[in-house]
């Protein structure tokens, strides 16, 4: 078992996030040591030590299994260096290449292989059946240490040639070990719980115990409780996708009476045939494996179909017979043409009004993502966001939103006629970027609306989680405190980048759906009413706004109407084709707005949605339900590797660094004092506590790499990396680039990145050495310009009075839609060149300059002007200093497009 005391604290956090690679490393380490030993340069003691360290974890995995480990131990103990090295190498390679999933030979030690060739049917994995997907099943049973081998044998004997999948059991004997296995073993897809197991493991597990205690899952907290149901509950918190089976001698009705029984897919009487269990387990995995739309699309493509409707490309005849575009067919392959169709019959269903396979696929996605309903969207999250705005916001409704959010929200409000009430995020001026919106600012805006008597107009809070640069909201706290002020407020969380977070137990509570689930649970708990009432008593009658601002508000559980929406660009973090997006709904009042959503779909969705996009959404869901946990863990591990390698490298770290959580998030928003993932002295409990309590935390997979200190501005560095090294980055700022790891990255990508950064760093050093004193001075000046002479970021100023005819006296909302359409009347608009003296004149003595449109520079990518906004000196200053070429909504030759103040009122439609 895990022996965390022996592990340095820095490794513990690392380990907690980084288990997949750590296991490979341990095996590789053992292999190398054993090889050295066999060549006479190493020692038996080293090999033995590594083996003992490694074997502590291996009980959580099916492979290599007890027999191979026993053989290896025996070889080490009896001094057979060559035999130990050979076996360690084979196991290590099988684990790294995952060949054991399909190769029966991997499961045999050489000797047994010689004696008994692998049985191709049972019980070992059969060669040639490699295409059957492989998974592992956790078996929690009393006395597993003793009985483990017979449990494994029993279950293996159930295997049949016609099974669609193949699995291996992993027996453990306690609650604690079961949780460890669920965290460490990404191959698990099912769990079978026998009654009568213990809570505590015999092994020493202080770190896990701390973790369980902080989650209320330690032995003391669940003493006397129903241990199997508590375990099922805990396992679902770690891995909601796992199917859990309970083998019990009790009456099923007694178990069914507990709310937690919902976590159990099936209760079987222990005396029932094990075969029943086997069939249930396979069916459970098949249920996730099924992709109703994609499966049918494949069947459709196989049928001989003549088409007499639009879409000549379908079936590919016009392509493959062509002299001129045949390469298109050769490049894409035949299937894409066979799978193209404009039909909505033949099981293909209609995305606009799904009743068949698409409906089913959406329901399965809802289950997977923890939503009540899901809409598949084939025009990106840009469209998903506009659909939410249209469906929920009526003209005049107020929407509180981050001015720096994606443009689809701003345009969505123009279309819907909602009034934006912009709230500023905290600035990170040094890096020319914004963070996220502090909760105190959101509460203040709501309380101001309340003071104006306009709270009923506030319809929705709309925030980006996580932000482009990785700031994650405390979604639960934000919603709770806002609901304490207005219990029926709607939340739209734009999780364009963050869809994958569902598959990490550490990030999930901070997703919209994760938080909504927690709030629903909380609402049902009688203690919540008490907490609410106690706080009301303490606050007294009519508490001041100041008092409400400083109090962590508890909403009234009996009043809350929980209405949560999340949009995600499935294509940005999962295996969907570009533009594949999902709109997730968890809204108790959805029944009242469902018809509006259908209107929004009709408004925005193409009537010719692409079949491949829909299929890829279906497939992305399948993948995440079956291997998302391991893939996301891997993406996080890779990010931590990059952070560590860059920041600790003696040469690279002189010129580059990845910003820590403490550099990305000001102290006041990190209440637990968490500094960074890799900060010495930080253990995983600190990490969990920060994720749980801090106002903002940082998504480890989004890395801001500072390149200004190497003398590059962001755009320049991004171009250099793309042109010269084929490494693509995400966005840039003045002095940084954003790197992102995802489920597609491997450790080789890390190695390549580090190699390239080292090469660039060495080149800088060589150039500096050649350039002498002048070179040094020029380099220092360049760095100063990039890192210190940074323009202040312009906050949102205010809407012009003409567009505040329907606004509160003190609250900043505005009629942006009227301003937007004012720009359609040429006689009401004027242009002023950015650098003209008239601009300065007007800033000084008026009349005010009113922006006629959105002006969005890339980077930073947020609108520094919106229609109807009064242009401030800060905005002009920022524009003038801006050294980027791409500015949407600004034509350099014509200048700023303004609404003439004397015309501003002309086109308002009340
Ligand atoms: C990319 C993005 C969008 C738009 O999503 P698409 O799928 O590209 O249309 C919306 N919001 C945020 C925060 C984004 O990053």
Sheet bearing 398-402, strands edge to edge: 373-377, 581-587, 563-568, 490-494, 458-464, 398-402, 419-423
Which atom number of ligand 1 is nearest to the Cα of residue 467? 13
pTM metric for this prediction: 0.94
Distance (angstroms) between ligand 1 centre and the Cα of 860 equals: 14
- Minimal CA–CA distance to 695: which of 650, 664, 659? 664
pLDDT category of residue 31 using cuts at 50, 70 and 90: very high
Sheet bearing 736-740, strands edge to edge: 657-658, 702-706, 736-740
CA–chain centroid gap for 619, Å, is 17
CATH of domain 373-621: 3.40.640.10
Separation between Cα atoms, residue 216 and residue 212, nearest integer Å:
6
pLDDT category of residue 15 using cuts at 50, 70 and 90: low
Q: Is 784 in a helix, a strand, or coil? A: helix
The structural architecture, per CATH, of the domain 801-905 is Alpha-Beta Complex (3.90)
Q: Which residue has the higher pLDDT, 235 or 22?
A: 235
Q: In 3-state terms, the chain is what percent helix, strand and coil (to 5)? A: 50, 15, 35
- 702-706 and 433-434: which strand pairing? unpaired
User: Do 44 and 126 form a contact (C-beta atoms < 8 A)?
Assistant: no
Distance (angstroms) between ligand 1 centre and the Cα of 483 equals: 27
* Average pLDDT score over residue span 538-563: 96
* Statement: residue 257 has pLDDT above 70: yes
Q: Do domains 122-289 and 801-905 have the same CATH topology?
A: no
Q: Which of 211-225, 383-397, 815-829, 883-897 has the lowest mean pLDDT?
A: 211-225
* Average pLDDT score over residue span 613-628: 98
pLDDT category of residue 800 using cuts at 50, 70 and 90: very high
* Statement: residue 8 has pLDDT above 60: no
Print burial letters for 853-891: b (CB count within 10 Å at least 16), e (below 16). bbbbbebbbbbbbbbbbbbbeebbebbeebeeeeeebbe
Which atom number of ligand 1 is nearest to the Cα of residue 464? 13
Question: Which residue has its alpha carbon closest to ligand 1 atom 2?
Answer: 496
Q: Is 534 in a helix, a strand, or coil? A: helix
Q: Is 807 in a helix, a strand, or coil? A: coil
Which atom number of ligand 1 is nearest to the Cα of residue 578? 7
Distance (angstroms) between ligand 1 centre and the Cα of 880 equals: 28
Question: Which residue has its alpha carbon closest to ligand 1 atom 8?
Answer: 380
Separation between Cα atoms, residue 226 and residue 186, nearest integer Å:
26
pLDDT at 5: 35
Q: State the DSSP H helix or E strand holding residue 460, giving kind and residue range, or none if neither.
A: strand 458-464
Separation between Cα atoms, residue 284 and residue 107, nearest integer Å:
26
Ligand 1 pocket, mutate which of 406, 497, 565, 573 (most atoms under 8 A from CB): 406
Distance (angstroms) between ligand 1 centre and the Cα of 615 equals: 20
The DSSP 8-state label assigned to residue 126 in this structure reads P
Distance (angstroms) between ligand 1 centre and the Cα of 72 equals: 51
Separation between Cα atoms, residue 541 and residue 537, nearest integer Å:
8
Distance (angstroms) between ligand 1 centre and the Cα of 755 equals: 31
pLDDT at 21: 81
Which atom number of ligand 1 is nearest to the Cα of residue 385? 10
Distance (angstroms) between ligand 1 centre and the Cα of 500 equals: 14
Distance (angstroms) between ligand 1 centre and the Cα of 580 equals: 11
Residue 361 structure tokens: 């696929």
pLDDT at 221: 79
Distance (angstroms) between ligand 1 centre and the Cα of 421 equals: 21
Q: Which of 13-17, 35-39, 178-182 has the lowest mean pLDDT?
A: 13-17
* Average pLDDT score over residue span 340-351: 80
Ligand 1 pocket, mutate which of 496, 499, 571, 576 (most atoms under 8 A from CB): 496
Residue 77 structure tokens: 């103990």
* Statement: residue 110 has pLDDT above 70: no
Distance (angstroms) between ligand 1 centre and the Cα of 701 equals: 17
Distance (angstroms) between ligand 1 centre and the Cα of 403 equals: 15
Distance (angstroms) between ligand 1 centre and the Cα of 718 equals: 20
CA angle in degrees (0–180, nearest 5) for 735-738-744: 160
Q: What is the 3-state secondary structure (H, E, C) of 265-302?
A: CEEEECCCCHHHHHHHHHHHHHHHHCCHHHHHHHHHHH
Q: Ligand 1 — pocket residues by CB below 6 A? A: 380-382, 406, 408, 464, 494, 496-497, 569, 581
Which atom number of ligand 1 is nearest to the Cα of residue 571? 7
Which atom number of ligand 1 is nearest to the Cα of residue 495? 13
Q: Which of 260-264, 597-601, 761-765 has the lowest mean pLDDT?
A: 260-264
pLDDT at 7: 37
Point out which residues pair with 738 in neighbouring strands.
704
Distance (angstroms) between ligand 1 centre and the Cα of 406 equals: 7
pLDDT digits (tens, 9 = 90+) for 389-437: 999 999 999 999 999 999 999 999 999 999 999 999 999 999 989 999 9
pLDDT digits (tens, 9 = 90+) for 276-334: 999 999 999 999 999 999 999 999 888 877 767 667 788 888 999 999 999 999 999 99
For tokens 């178990």, what's the residue? 255
Sheet bearing 869-870, strands edge to edge: 798-799, 869-870, 850-851, 896-899, 829-832
Separation between Cα atoms, residue 87 and residue 72, nearest integer Å:
7
pLDDT digits (tens, 9 = 90+) for 91-103: 999 999 999 998 8
* Average pLDDT score over residue span 897-904: 94
pLDDT at 18: 62
Ligand 1 pocket, mutate which of 494, 512, 573, 702 (most atoms under 8 A from CB): 494
For tokens 């999340």, what's the residue? 566
Separation between Cα atoms, residue 903 and residue 266, nearest integer Å:
69
For tokens 């520079």, what's the residue? 857
pLDDT at 218: 81
Separation between Cα atoms, residue 553 and residue 334, nearest integer Å:
59
Cβ-based burial of 343 (10 A; exposed 0-12, middle 13-18, buried ≥19): middle
Distance (angstroms) between ligand 1 centre and the Cα of 756 equals: 29
Which atom number of ligand 1 is nearest to the Cα of residue 379? 9
Ligand 1 pocket, mutate which of 375, 376, 378, 382 (most atoms under 8 A from CB): 382
Helices within 339-436 (DSSP H only) = 357-369, 380-392, 407-416
pLDDT at 582: 98
pLDDT digits (tens, 9 = 90+) for 161-175: 899 999 999 999 999
Question: Which residue has its alpha carbon closest to ligand 1 atom 7?
Answer: 380
pLDDT category of residue 125 using cuts at 50, 70 and 90: very low
CA–chain centroid gap for 119, Å, is 42
Q: Cα dihedral sign for 58, 60, 62, 65?
A: positive
Which atom number of ligand 1 is nearest to the Cα of residue 569? 7
pLDDT digits (tens, 9 = 90+) for 43-77: 999 999 999 988 888 989 999 998 899 999 999 99
* Average pLDDT score over residue span 491-520: 96
pLDDT digits (tens, 9 = 90+) for 623-640: 999 999 999 999 999 999
Ligand 1 pocket, mutate which of 408, 492, 569 (most atoms under 8 A from CB): 569
Q: What percent of the chain has pLDDT over 90?
A: 73
Distance (angstroms) between ligand 1 centre and the Cα of 691 equals: 24
Distance (angstroms) between ligand 1 centre and the Cα of 268 equals: 46
Distance (angstroms) between ligand 1 centre and the Cα of 464 equals: 10
Which atom number of ligand 1 is nearest to the Cα of residue 579? 7
Separation between Cα atoms, residue 398 and residue 461, nearest integer Å:
9
| In the chain, domain spans | 1-117, 122-289, 373-621, 623-787, 801-905
Separation between Cα atoms, residue 497 and residue 469, nearest integer Å:
10
Q: Phi then psi for 36, rounded to 5 degrees? A: -60, -40
Ligand 1 pocket, mutate which of 375, 376, 381, 617 (most atoms under 8 A from CB): 381
User: Do 907 and 831 form a contact (C-beta atoms < 8 A)?
Assistant: no
User: In sequence order, which residues have a C-beta less than 8 Å from that of residue 144 and are 6 or more positions away?
Assistant: 151, 171, 172, 173, 197
Ligand 1 pocket, mutate which of 378, 380, 403, 437 (most atoms under 8 A from CB): 380
Distance (angstroms) between ligand 1 centre and the Cα of 569 equals: 6
Sheet bearing 243-248, strands edge to edge: 166-172, 134-140, 188-194, 243-248, 266-269
DSSP states along 613-663? HHHHHHHHHHHHHHHHHHHHHHHHHHHHHHHHHHHH-TTHHHH-EEPPHHH
Which atom number of ligand 1 is nearest to the Cα of residue 581? 7
Which atom number of ligand 1 is nearest to the Cα of residue 405? 13
Q: Phi then psi for 798, rounded to 5 degrees? A: -170, 160
- In order of 412, 471, 494, 584, 783, the CA distances from 387 in angstroms are 8, 25, 12, 12, 44
CB atoms within 10 A of CB 776: 12
pLDDT digits (tens, 9 = 90+) for 346-395: 668 899 999 999 999 999 999 999 999 999 999 999 999 999 999 999 99
pLDDT, the chain, mean: 90
Distance (angstroms) between ligand 1 centre and the Cα of 570 equals: 10
Which atom number of ligand 1 is nearest to the Cα of residue 406? 11
Which atom number of ligand 1 is nearest to the Cα of residue 382? 9
Secondary-structure class of domain 122-289 per CATH = alpha beta
- In order of 251, 456, 509, 792, the CA distances from 477 in angstroms are 40, 22, 11, 30
Question: Which residue has its alpha carbon closest to ligand 1 atom 15?
Answer: 496
CA–chain centroid gap for 696, Å, is 15
User: Do 683 and 207 form a contact (C-beta atoms < 8 A)?
Assistant: yes
pLDDT at 846: 87
Question: Which residue has its alpha carbon closest to ligand 1 atom 14?
Answer: 496
pLDDT category of residue 520 using cuts at 50, 70 and 90: very high
pLDDT at 908: 84
The DSSP 8-state label assigned to residue 669 in this structure reads G
Which atom number of ligand 1 is nearest to the Cα of residue 384? 9
Distance (angstroms) between ligand 1 centre and the Cα of 390 equals: 17
For the domain made up of 623-787, give the CATH fold.
3.90.1150
Which atom number of ligand 1 is nearest to the Cα of residue 408? 10
* Statement: residue 605 has pLDDT above 80: yes
Distance (angstroms) between ligand 1 centre and the Cα of 496 equals: 5
Length reported for the chain: 910
* Statement: residue 124 has pLDDT above 50: no
């Amino acid at each position: 078992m895990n022996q965390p005391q022996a592990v340095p604290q820095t490794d513990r956090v690392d380990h907690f996030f980084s288990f997949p690679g750590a296991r490979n490393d341990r095996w590789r380490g053992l292999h190398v040591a054993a090889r050295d030993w066999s060549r006479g340069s190493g020692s038996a003691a080293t090999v033995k030590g590594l083996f003992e360290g490694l074997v502590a974890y291996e009980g959580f995995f099916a492979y290599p299994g007890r027999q191979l480990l026993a053989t290896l131990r025996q070889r080490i103990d009896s001094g057979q260096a060559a035999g130990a090295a050979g076996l360690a190498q084979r196991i290590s390679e099988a684990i790294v290449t995952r060949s054991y999933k399909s190769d029966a030979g991997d499961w045999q030690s050489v000797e047994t292989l010689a004696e008994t060739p692998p049985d191709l049917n049972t019980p070992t994995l059969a060669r040639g059946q490699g295409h059957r997907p492989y998974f592992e099943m956790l078996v929690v049973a009393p006395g597993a240490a003793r009985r483990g081998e017979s449990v494994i044998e029993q279950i293996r004997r159930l295997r049949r040639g016609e099974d669609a999948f193949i699995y291996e059991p992993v027996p453990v004997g306690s609650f604690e070990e079961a949780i460890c296995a669920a965290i460490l073993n990404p191959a698990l897809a099912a769990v079978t719980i026998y009654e009568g197991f213990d809570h505590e493991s015999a092994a020493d597990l202080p770190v896990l115990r701390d973790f369980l205690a902080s989650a209320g899952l330690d032995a003391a907290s669940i003493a006397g409780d129903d241990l199997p149901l508590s375990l099922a509950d805990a396992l679902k918190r770690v891995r909601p996708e796992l199917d859990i089976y309970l083998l019990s001698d009790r009456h099923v009705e007694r178990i069914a009476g507990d709310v937690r029984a919902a976590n159990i897919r099936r209760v079987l009487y222990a005396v029932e045939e094990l075969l029943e269990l086997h069939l249930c387990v396979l069916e459970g995995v098949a249920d996730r494996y099924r992709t109703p739309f994609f499966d049918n699309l494949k069947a459709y493509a196989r049928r001989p179909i003549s088409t007499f409707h639009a879409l000549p490309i379908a079936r590919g005849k016009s392509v493959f017979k062509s002299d001129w575009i045949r390469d298109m067919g050769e490049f894409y392959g035949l299937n894409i043409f066979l799978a193209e169709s404009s039909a909505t019959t033949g099981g293909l269903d209609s995305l606009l009004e799904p009743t068949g396979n698409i409906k089913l696929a959406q329901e399965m996605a809802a289950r997977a993502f923890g939503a009540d309903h899901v809409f598949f969207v084939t025009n990106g999250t840009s469209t998903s966001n506009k659909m939410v705005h249209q469906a929920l916001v009526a003209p005049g409704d107020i929407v509180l939103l981050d001015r720096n959010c994606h443009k689809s929200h701003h345009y969505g409000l123009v279309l819907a006629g909602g009034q934006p009430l912009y709230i500023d995020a905290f600035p990170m001026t040094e890096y020319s970027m914004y963070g996220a919106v502090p909760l105190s600012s959101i509460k203040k805006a709501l309380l101001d609306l309340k003071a104006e008597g306009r709270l009923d107009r506030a319809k929705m809070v709309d925030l980006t989680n996580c932000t482009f640069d990785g700031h994650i909201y405390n979604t639960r706290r934000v919603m709770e405190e806002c609901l304490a002020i207005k219990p029926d407020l709607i939340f739209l969380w734009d999780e364009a980048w963050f869809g994958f977070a569902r598959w990490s137990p550490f990030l999930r509570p901070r997703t919209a759906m994760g938080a909504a689930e927690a709030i629903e649970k909380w609402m049902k708990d009688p203690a919540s009413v008490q907490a609410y009432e106690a706080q009301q008593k303490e606050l007294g009658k009519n508490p001041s706004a100041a008092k409400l601002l400083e109090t962590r508000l508890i909403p009234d559980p009996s009043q809350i109407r929980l209405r949560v929406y999340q949009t995600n660009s499935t294509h940005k973090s999962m295996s969907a084709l570009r533009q594949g997006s999902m709109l997730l709904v968890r809204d108790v009042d959805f029944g009242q707005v469902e018809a509006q959503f259908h209107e929004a779909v009709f408004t925005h969705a193409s009537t010719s949605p692409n079949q491949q996009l829909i299929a890829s959404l279906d497939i992305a869901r399948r993948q995440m339900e079956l291997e998302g946990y391991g893939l996301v863990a891997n993406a996080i591990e890779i990010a931590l590797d990059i952070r560590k390698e860059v920041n600790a490298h003696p040469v690279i770290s002189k010129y580059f660094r990845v910003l820590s959580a403490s550099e990305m998030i000001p102290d006041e928003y990190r209440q637990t004092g968490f500094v960074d993932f890799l900060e010495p002295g930080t253990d995983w409990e600190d990490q969990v506590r920060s994720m749980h309590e801090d106002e903002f935390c940082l998504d480890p997979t989004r890395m801001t790499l500072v390149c200004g200190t190497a003398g590059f501005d962001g755009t320049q560095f991004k171009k250099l990396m793309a042109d010269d090294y084929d490494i693509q980055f995400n966005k840039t700022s003045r002095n940084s680039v954003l790197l992102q790891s995802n489920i597609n990255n491997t450790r080789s990508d890390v190695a390549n990145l580090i190699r390239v950064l080292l090469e660039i760093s060495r080149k800088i050093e060589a150039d500096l050495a050649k350039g002498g004193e002048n070179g040094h001075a020029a380099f220092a000046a360049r760095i100063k310009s990039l890192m210190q002479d940074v323009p202040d970021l312009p906050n949102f100023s205010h809407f012009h009075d003409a567009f505040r005819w329907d606004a509160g006296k003190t609250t900043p909302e505005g009629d942006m839609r009227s301003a937007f359409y004012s720009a359609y009347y040429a006689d009401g608009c004027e242009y002023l060149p950015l650098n003209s003296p008239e601009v300065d004149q007007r800033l000084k003595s008026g009349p005010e300059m009113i922006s006629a449109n959105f002006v969005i520079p890339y980077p930073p990518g947020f609108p520094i002007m919106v229609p109807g906004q009064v242009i401030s000196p800060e905005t002009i200053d920022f524009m003038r200093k801006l050294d980027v070429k791409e500015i949407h909504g600004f034509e350099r030759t014509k200048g700023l497009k303004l609404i003439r103040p004397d015309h501003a009122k002309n086109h308002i439609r009340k």
